[in-house]
Structure 1
Amino acid sequence: MALNNFEYKVEACCSHTSARAGCFQTPHGKVDTPRFMPVGTLANVKTVTPAQLQETGAQMVLANTYHLHLQPGEELIAAAGGVHRFMGWDGPMLTDSGGFQVFSLSKIRTISEAGVMFKSPRDGRLINMTPEESIRIQNELGADVIMAFDECPPYPASREAVELATDRTYRWLKRCVLAHDRSDQALFGIVQGGVFTDLRSQAAEMLTQLDLPGYAIGGVSVGEPSELIEKIVRSTTPMLPLHKPRYLMGVGTHREMVQAIAAGMDLFDCVIPTRLARHGTAIVRGDRWNLKNARFRKDLSPLDETCSCYTCRNFSRAYLCHLIHAREALAHTLLSIHNITELVSFTQRIRAAILGDRFVEEFGEWLAPTK
């Protein structure tokens, strides 16, 4: 299938690592990589308006196929003109396939070769999510990038179970390719394989033979220790095509992103910036600050003097502490704005360092082995 308005270019490479700065062009604009992508599961990045989201520097936003299928339904979103118009976001978008829910909703689903049968947590009805159905829903939603339906095995899992899931993911991918019929959407494949590097290698080899427009590493950050995540990413990334965008799913801490960028990854997503915000926690230069703590009650300093986000330009730590203790929803919004900005700007600074060949010099502290 010939794709319209999709192109990925590597603009610079690090002379000491495999880090690269690139540009991924989509029908709704470009994504300068490496880049963190905020998660908007239900066509909404929690507590943040699209205008506020744009000010954070975010370029690409995620939504979730399974959850949008449950509510409000892909037919309504398609009638509204697609997910971009429905949520008021005119930048690039990506939809997860529902594959992560195969992992996260394991208690209410049954897997077979045909697909996955979920029991709706809303009304108990059965939802038959096959690879073809996932692609049909994503075609209706209309995001720029859509993900293949996959089986994400848990950690820990036996080698036999992971091997079965990895093989099934490949068979499902071929069905996704056949079902996909929109040239204005790029279908990415997902490399599974758990913590078994040889299974990851085999999966990557099979997937890249299909010559898809992009590739993701999935099935990490599902409970395994950080050193295993780093090992998986280091061993798998070099097997993915140099001239295609590479996406590490579900990862968004400073260290994890730097380690993955050094291996050659481009795109990242995680729910932590808004989830932490809802619990009164700010991400400040890689650290996590609990704004509920008494030490912030009378601190009139900006949250982070080095941050230029709306929150840090206008409000003090004391005010944020007050909002949290008063249970004001504005606290969630202001902390979400800051946390998203923190992660997006972190990847922007990494990109600038790669362009200037200063990546190791400026971010070496994050490259040291895990202690």
Structure 2
Amino acid sequence: MAFEFELIATDGRARAGILHTPHGDIPTPCFAPVGTQATVKAVPPRDLTELNASLVLANTYHLHLRPGEDLVQQMGGLHEFMQWNGPILTDSGGFQVFSLTQINKIDDEGVTFRSHIDGSQRRLTPESSMAIQQALGADIIMAFDQCPPPKDRETVEKAVARTHNWAARCREAHPYDDKQALFGIVQGGIFQDLRAQSAEFIQSLDLKGYAIGGLAVGESKAEQYETLDFTLPLMPNNRPRYLMGVGDPDDLCEAITRGIDIFDCVIPTRLARHGAAFTFDGRINMKNARFKDDPNPLILDEAFKSYSQNFSRAYLRHLMIAKELLGYYLLSLNNIAFLITHVQNMRQAIIEGRLAEYTQTFLQRYLGRSQ
């Protein structure tokens, strides 16, 4: 089988595994950088390889609007188009439809919306989402779902029913072979009974993996963790579990401890564009005057590997103040490397049976000195 999930170690509810794909293995837990428009902002694929990235995301909605899935397919598919040889995951486009567009109509068949680029009217359905993702050629593709505000029960109930209907249609429209793995998405907001209903239905479709959607969209961290607590025990052990859109270092600790395998988030490159950098002593603002003559590298840890470590904090501050593009590149490298390293450290801790010790030490340092 081209897609197989191998569980190699557990520590409490946390898991270490390997997801085998046609474009290489994904050691889990893993953090996947987001390449919205077939590019991780400011970071070449060569550098992602050097940072040990094992999975990259691309965005169905954005690539459908520009340059179009037909062109990407003509150019050889996403791997050839963006010159990334590792595994790729594409989302369904649903989240962007609901968050970025002026929606004209949501119905049981799909969504009619206006493009945020040129205002043209478009239509997205489960079937068209599958067709777009198949043309893009990603290794892992996501079922089309409705992502509602997490605390509005009436809206969440309707979204869960629609998500189930759409997931079944995606399953029917997707040629289930070894070239692409279809993942389903469990919805239900912060409501335990709705999450249970959704987990049961989505699993009945017998998909290659399962995601938890509808979190990190307005609920508190405590509500997010509580939702994971009652949802994850309902999900199968022999399939990868993907928490969509979560990337804060402390959230990664909490979610991995509870049994999540795959993460993605735009946060490392978005923070870099605003001059913020991850360090083991908390997030720092590189525009701060106190770094003006600081000769140290960004991460004060000799074991941390990133090209950004060749430069002083003083130089990085200068680049950000001067709005030089190199600064955005170097901070993006640092932030992606930090999250990948953090998750890899947790994976090793799971294998060695010391996850609780690692997370306690990490969180005490990261949150205790956050700046």
Instruction: Give the TM-score normalised by the residue count of structure 2.
Output: 0.95
Q: In structure 2, list runs of 5 or more residues that go unmatched.
A: none
Residue correspondences, number: 363
Match of 2:246 in 1: 251
Match of 2:114 in 1: 119
CA spacing shift, 1:317–1:109, aligned 2, 3 Å? farther
Structure-2 separation of matches of 1:131 and 1:38: 25
Letter in 2 for 1:358: R
Match of 2:49 in 1: 54
1:39 partner SS: strand
Structure-2 separation of matches of 1:106 and 1:201: 30
Match of 1:13 in 2: 10
Deviates more, 1:278-287 or 1:358-367: 358-367
Alignment check: 8 A CA contact 2:228 2:255 kept: yes
Letter in 2 for 1:326: A
Match of 1:170 in 2: 164
Alignment check: 8 A CA contact 2:100 2:116 kept: no
Structure-1 separation of matches of 2:89 and 2:338: 21
CA spacing shift, 1:48–1:351, aligned 2, 3 Å? same
Letter in 1 for 2:173: A
Alignment check: 8 A CA contact 1:280 1:332 kept: yes
Letter in 1 for 2:353: D
CA spacing shift, 1:284–1:33, aligned 2, 3 Å? same
1:207 aligns with 2:202: yes
Alignment check: 8 A CA contact 1:145 1:185 kept: yes
Q: Which runs of 4+ in 1 moved over 6 A?
A: none
- State the Cα deviation string for residues 237-274 of structure 1 (Å, max 9, x = none): 11111000110000011111111111111000000000
Match of 2:333 in 1: 337
CA spacing shift, 1:109–1:268, aligned 2, 3 Å? farther
Alignment check: 8 A CA contact 1:95 1:146 kept: yes
CA spacing shift, 1:367–1:166, aligned 2, 3 Å? farther
- State the Cα deviation string for residues 183-239 of structure 1 (Å, max 9, x = none): 210000000001111100110011111111100000000011100110111111111
2:246 partner SS: coil
Structure-2 separation of matches of 1:366 and 1:99: 35
- The 5 Å alignment of 1:141-220 reads 141-157=136-152, 159-181=153-175, 183=177, 184-220=179-215
- State the Cα deviation string for residues 72-109 of structure 1 (Å, max 9, x = none): 00001001111010000000000000111133125445
Letter in 2 for 1:73: G
Letter in 2 for 1:277: A
Match of 1:235 in 2: 230
Alignment check: 8 A CA contact 2:88 2:139 kept: yes
CA spacing shift, 1:315–1:297, aligned 2, 3 Å? same
Q: In structure 1, list runs of 5 or more residues that go unmatched.
A: none
1:101 aligns with 2:96: yes
Structure-2 separation of matches of 1:116 and 1:229: 27
1:89 aligns with 2:59: no
Structure-1 separation of matches of 2:311 and 2:356: 34
Structure-2 separation of matches of 1:277 and 1:131: 34
Aligned-pair identity (%): 53
- The 5 Å alignment of 1:281-360 reads 281-285=276-280, 287-306=282-301, 307-312=304-309, 314-360=310-356
Alignment check: 8 A CA contact 1:234 1:260 kept: no
Instruction: Give the TM-score normalised by the residue count of structure 1.
Output: 0.95
Alignment check: 8 A CA contact 1:102 1:109 kept: no
TM-superposed deviation, 1:166: 0.5
1:22 partner SS: strand
1:132 partner SS: helix
- Aligned-residue Cα RMSD (Å) equals 1.6
TM-superposed deviation, 1:154: 1.6
Letter in 1 for 2:112: M
Alignment check: 8 A CA contact 1:150 1:169 kept: yes
CA spacing shift, 1:182–1:269, aligned 2, 3 Å? same
1:289 partner SS: strand
Alignment check: 8 A CA contact 1:139 1:182 kept: no
2:159 partner SS: helix
1:211 partner SS: coil
